[in-house]
Chain A
């Protein structure tokens, strides 16, 4: 196990290095400069400022400097937010994104699993059709549509929750719900399909024949088996939700990181582009590792590369 994890960590470092390299060179193809007043300044004036930030160096030199700093844990200083460190900017903004992402994942997954379970147990019944319908809607309607509906009806008309902004737990309710619907739909669909398959297996019949009651079988054998495909799909989705979503965050004015993925590119804020990309990649790689480890725990049939 320890060897497996070490091996994976080495791969992780290599992957991160490759991602950093690709992103760096790709980003240098962006048109324009990181200057915010580039439309005003003459070319000579721009050159003076660019030189101050070392942006007049050849790209390979810039790359080398960046990587040296990166290894030392220095992600640099933002151009959009003068003098502010990239690390500070990400840490300041990731909190709200993580919170609503995590809440949405937990609520969405649990409710979705429940819905899928109900569907499977009452297969082809009214409840099954109802929950399948919900799942289809949840998966096909984009989250910002729900966000708009929530904001207007629940926020403005009913006044149950704050319309937008950030501060108390109430402020997180509507963004969380809007985000939760997609994982809910996914979880419900996978749960239902897997459960139906598992419940038809021979060993379930055996278990039932041995006198285990219906719900015991469902929870002990069914759910556990259904978790494998579910985790495979939901893991990466979770990374997406927890690292900030542009649309939901801007609709509910959540002070999250979501818009920086786009804005840093539009403004040529090179250090932030690198910072957000690496952060996202890191998160993603970790989650993939965790998922792989979870497989082994959930399903003993999956053996990690121990013996090799």
Chain B
């Protein structure tokens, strides 16, 4: 066998040499160019004057660069790199002034007045004015636009957004108005303390009305039907191949932008990305579990935590899962730590609550939410068995069989198989795993046609509400049948009476999380996602955001 492999290799190599030789011909010049490609990088590394060019990869194409249509990480990433909203997420995800210089909020927290800077321009020279925001936000909720995130993000926040999206009111009635070119008046539906950080999100970015209208159907389809008002601008965009961004010299804060160029290639295979990285062609490559052990000790190895949480949803319409002790037993039997270490192996951390680590801090003490509430679930196999016996007694059964809805990717299949074996440690429990495509899982979640479901959630804005609000009675994304008046009251109070009392409001969320996880055991937290990377260590100051654009290259530079 060994010999056959060796022979094969020789054969393959011989063949490629032969073909290389015959296709080379008169192109020998370009041939040597290609050969020295790798060397270019090394040359510049040695000299003191480093080329400020970043070479990156994305695993997917940009689905859209239309602010109103964007829904996914790739779109928000490159919108964020080329555009400035009212605010921009800075260090530790704190909003810093961007197009807005500052703002005032009325006492009731409803009326927000943003004062815009007068030196901001679009890349075609037009000034960025308050009307650009009015136009963009109206467009986002206009049912004719067909936006998904418009009604989702603005609905319930900006006055009349929901009614407009449903077609019950004209777009002009949206609670946003340009009192003059540089003053934007926003009327909220109710006091929303996290609105400032929301204005940094992709859906709230401005649009240049005359440019968008002129481009019509072609808007945001090519590099030249795009407009930038942010640190970088598109100079080339080849859909499935990649795109090139250059520093936007007209950016109001151009002095603080050091990178001259960002090249992005679409590379879908992790192994290909790693090979390109090792060849010095790219500055960053993401790693999947099987590569982590090989590179963990490398100085280029970096782990980026995300505030995205994964958990088992437990459908309380199921007779067994309606039993609180059964749910608690499920929470407790699973060994999360060994799961993140062996199955995921990419820096992901075991989740012990509904709010991820390093996501929000207490408004006064600045302590992390997770640190205050601590571990709300822990692994305790003995106690789990006891709870399970009690549950079985209460239900009057000896054996139980429950379904488990999981994903159909390689990683999720491994994880689900592991969790199945963990869950089946509960005596008499049989877990039937069903691996289904994502779309199927969504359908069955909506129909509540599942028992256990491996599910996940990432934040839409930086506030505990984005994770906790969904579990209220009949919440659109609840779909577990969970309903607790006390919990509902805490969340509602946080959104209404306490909206302007940051400390009390935060306490409400802390209390609500305890009820959700500890008392009522609605979900069984699994892990908080992280991604392992190989990251060129000469690249400095890339910002990492918990939402919107995952990375901020505004202040990044190469040493």
A interface with B by C-beta (< 8 Å): 30-33, 35-45, 48-49, 52-53, 80-84, 89, 92-93, 107, 111, 134, 137, 141, 146, 148-156, 159-166, 168-170, 173-174, 177, 250-253, 255-256, 259, 266-268
Contacts and interface: CB of A to CB of B under 8 A. Distances in A.
Contact of B12 (A32, A149, A164): A149
Interface string B136-148: 0000000110111
Contacts of B443: 31-32
A43 B30 contact: no
Given A32-B443, A162-B37, A252 B272 contact: yes
B272 A81 contact: no
A89 B62 CA distance: 13
Nearest to A263: B60
Contact of B35 (A43, A146, A148, A160): A160
8 contacts: A35-B148, A83-B64, A84-B221, A148-B271, A159-B279, A163-B279, A169-B27, A255-B240
Nearest to A137: B8
Contacts of B146: 49, 52-53
B267 to A, nearest CB: 4
Interface stretch (B65-73, B512-520, B526-534, B546-554): B65-73
Nearest to A89: B239
B20 A156 contact: no
B15 interface: yes
A177 B272 contact: no
A42 B476 contact: yes
A251 B271 contact: yes
A135 to B, nearest CB: 11
Contacts of A256: 240
Contacts of A148: 271
A217 B432 CA distance: 66
A253 B281 contact: no
Given A32-B442, A82-B69, A37 B149 contact: yes
Given A48-B165, A49-B146, A163 B439 contact: no
Given A49-B146, A259-B268, A155 B20 contact: no
Q: Interface centre among A33, A83, A89, by most B CB within 10 Å? A: A83
Contact of A164 (B152, B165, B276, B477): B276
A7 to B, nearest CB: 39
A10 B518 CA distance: 69
A37 B152 contact: yes
A83 B220 contact: yes
Given A150-B16, A151-B272, A154-B13, A170 B30 contact: yes
Contact of B20 (A30, A53, A80, A160): A160
Interface residues of B, number: 70
B239 A107 contact: no
A256 B440 CA distance: 27
Nearest to A50: B146
Nearest to B165: A48
B152 A40 contact: yes
Given A45-B155, A165-B265, A250-B269, A155 B275 contact: yes
Contact of B34 (A32, A161, A166): A161
A44 B156 CA distance: 14
Interface string B432-469: 00000111101111100000000000001000000000
A267 B72 CA distance: 13
B502 interface: no
Interface in B24-63: 27, 30-31, 34-35, 37-38, 61, 63
B439 A266 contact: yes
Q: Interface centre among A33, A44, A49, by most B CB within 10 Å? A: A49
B489 interface: no
A253 B267 contact: yes
Interface in B225-276: 238-242, 265-269, 271-272, 275-276
A155 B15 contact: no
B23 A253 contact: no
Given A35-B148, A170-B31, A163 B272 contact: yes
Top 10 nearest A-B pairs by Cβ distance?
A32-B439, A42-B476, A255-B240, A255-B241, A82-B64, A31-B440, A250-B268, A82-B69, A52-B146, A37-B71
Contacts of B371: none
A165 B269 CA distance: 11
A81 B239 CA distance: 10
Given A41-B148, A83-B69, A155-B279, A93 B272 contact: no
B151 interface: yes
B151 A45 contact: yes
B542 interface: no
A176 to B, nearest CB: 8
A39 B477 CA distance: 8
Given A49-B146, A177-B16, A251 B269 contact: yes
Given A251-B271, A253-B265, A253-B266, A173 B23 contact: yes
Contacts of B444: 31
A150 B440 contact: no
A153 B279 CA distance: 12
B374 interface: no
A173 B30 CA distance: 14
B397 interface: no
Given A146-B12, A250-B272, 6 more contacts: A31-B444, A36-B71, A36-B148, A49-B147, A82-B63, A165-B267
Contacts of B151: 41, 45, 48
A137 B445 CA distance: 46
A152 B13 CA distance: 12
A151 B63 contact: no
Given A36-B71, A155-B275, A156-B279, A166 B20 contact: no
A168 B71 CA distance: 34
Contact of B19 (A37, A42, A89, A177): A177
A65 B278 CA distance: 51
